Structure 1
Amino acid sequence: MNFQDRVAFITGAGSKRGIGRETAKQLAYRGATVILADIDFEGVKEAAEEINAQNGKASPVQLDVTNRAQVSSVVQEIVGKFGKIDILVNNAGITRPTRVLEIPEEEWDLIFRVNVKSIYYLTQEVLPHMKRQHYGRIVNLGSVSGKRGGGVFGGSHYSAAKAAVAGFTKAVAREMAPFGITCNAVAPGLIGTDITGGMLTEEVKKEIIKGVPVGRIGTVTDVAYTIAFLASEQAGYITGEEIDINGGMHID
């Protein structure tokens, strides 16, 4: 895969052990200019410095993906500086392990704002630029929780939000296919990231692995490689798909 001359915009890229940061690395090391966005500016600044130190091309931006005005401003800034956005990876997301009877309305709304509404904001802001150049790759982060109705650490609101991401992905794919734009999603199972790290004790890990046929917890690289492929020119005939990355934990 060669991303030379491609401009990629990745949200939620500040976490040290996160999917967003690893995806940025995989794209940058294959030639892309990557813009890393996160509400945690120090995180994306550190990630960009790491990529640039390895002869990559990376720029950090601070972004609250739930703020429409900020999203619009950042997209305009990127297009103004680099002339285009070829790849959008909607990776920013949060989860809460709250049981359905205990979910307060504020938490429900927060989960949907970060995991779903932000994708609507970003996609709607970026699409006009992709349409103009008749090329684009959008990859959204779903989850096994959205397919099987819950996971290890996600509540029913998280499952509902990730199911919504899948539906949005398919609809956008149908609408945008005539313009050379693909829209796909990946649905990771349990991945060893900073989000799950604090809850993933050795005892819990052993219990989870019993239900994973390949016999291990997933890595951020497992997910980032798949995102990179879907973001490549070679994946131009794949759209509207949700790719499972779960080691066989859930097969449909």
Structure 2
Amino acid sequence: MDLGIKGRLAVVTGGSRNVGRAAAEALARDGCRVVIVSRNAKDARDVVDSLTAEGHHASAIEGDVSRHEGIAPLFERIRKEHGDPDILVYNNGGPPDSHVGAASVSDYLAGYDITVIGFIQAVEEVAGHMKEQGWGRIVTLGSMCAKHPHREVPMIVHNIVRPAALGASRTLANELAPFGITINTIGTGRIDGGENGSFRRTYRAIAAERGQDGDELIAQLLKSLPGGRGGKPEEVGALCAFLCSHLAGFITGQLVMCDGGQNNTLY
């Protein structure tokens, strides 16, 4: 399937690991010129080397989107070194996991900064060029808790800031739709990226805290999903690439769930 994005400049923040890396790889393999933003220069370089070895166009830039003050300088560098982005995939590690009552005010503010304010500022940095050309694609790699709050993990900050980011995305999507710009959020569920992925790290830590066996807890959680397995990062990446495509021009302002059917509501 030709997604119609060959030659487009795509920026993927947090693009060196897990679902961010999968999104960067999918876009590069569909012909985009991809700029991978990461705090870890070595990991980003590894992704670039892998993609260029396949014959794709990829570059890396060291950057941190965890504080909104870093957004404008980051995109100034991107424009100077690579040009104006046509596609933005906003991805970050999210706030720390916290129990109710254990999260501090600074935890809530930091979570809001990275998930909401940082996202809004990143959109503002790319929207001007997208408006001028009458085309643009923006996708947030978010979380299922924007619709279905976490219960089995201590994620009070996530449960608050992810829906807030969704409200920002919907509002921005309404404002930018007349210019041919779409904005969507992918609500990821239990994406099993292997031992280095956040899913296994999170639940191993929870199991240790409870005095449980980590492998047993992970197996139980995956078995409880309708398909009996976790998602693959590349499945999120493929969905992201489609939402960034020419063909997805009539999809905007949406939370698109990629959770293996874990959220069992009708709408």
Partner of 1:232: 245
Quote the Cα distance in structure 2 between the aligned partners of 1:154 and 1:175: 35
Gap change, CA 1:172 and 1:205, over 3 Å in 2: same
2:57 is matched by which residue type in structure 1?
K
* One-letter code aligned to 1:234: L
Higher deviation after alignment, 80-89 or 126-135: 80-89
How far residue 68 of structure 1 moved from its aligned partner, in angstroms, is: 4.2
Q: Distance in 1 between matches of 2:152 and 2:24?
A: 26
2:130 is the counterpart of 1:130: yes
1:140 counterpart residue number: 140
Q: Which runs of 5+ in 2 are unaligned?
A: 204-213
State the alpha-carbon separation in 2 of the partners of residues 142 and 183 from structure 1: 12
Match of 2:35 in 1: 35
How much has 1:142 moved relative to structure 2?
2.0
Contact kept? 1:66, 1:117, Cα under 8 Å = no
Residue 150 in 1 paired to residue 157 in 2? Answer: no
| Pair 1:206–1:102, CA change in 2 (3 A) | same
Change (3 A) 1:4 1:125: same
Change (3 A) 1:196 1:66: same
User: What SS does structure 1 have at the residue aligned with 2:173?
Assistant: helix
Judged with a 3 Å threshold, the aligned counterparts in structure 2 of structure 1 residues 236 and 228 are, in CA distance, closer, same or farther, namely same
Shift of 1:231: 0.3
One-letter amino acid of the structure 1 residue matched with residue 125 of structure 2: E
Contact 2:100/2:154 (8 A) holds in 1: no
Does the alignment pair 1:75 with 2:75? Answer: yes
Residues 153, 196 of structure 1: 8 Å contact kept: no
| Amino-acid identity (%) | 28
Q: Residue 60 of structure 2 aligns with which residue?
A: 60
Distance 2:51 2:85 in 1: 19
C-alpha distance in structure 1 between counterparts of 2:172 and 2:150, whole Å: 25
CA shift digits 1:95-119 (9 cap, x unpaired): 4332111112222222222222211
Larger radius of gyration: 2
Which of 215, 221, 246 matches 1:208? 221
Q: Could you tell me which amino acid in structure 2 is paired with residue 236 of structure 1?
A: G
SS in 2 for 1:65: coil
What RMSD over aligned residues (CA atoms) do the two structures have, in Å?
A: 1.7
Which amino acid in 1 is paired with 2:258?
A: I
Tell me, yes or no, if the aligned pair for 2:97 and 2:157 is still in contact at 8 Å: no
- Give 1:187 shift: 0.2
Q: Which amino acid aligns with 2:89?
A: V
Amino acid paired to 1:196: F
In the TM superposition, residue 191 of structure 1 has moved relative to its aligned partner by 0.9
Q: Which runs of 5+ in 1 are unaligned?
A: none
Query: Alignment partner for residue 9 of structure 1, among 8, 11, 33?
Result: 11
* Structure 2 length-normalised TM: 0.88
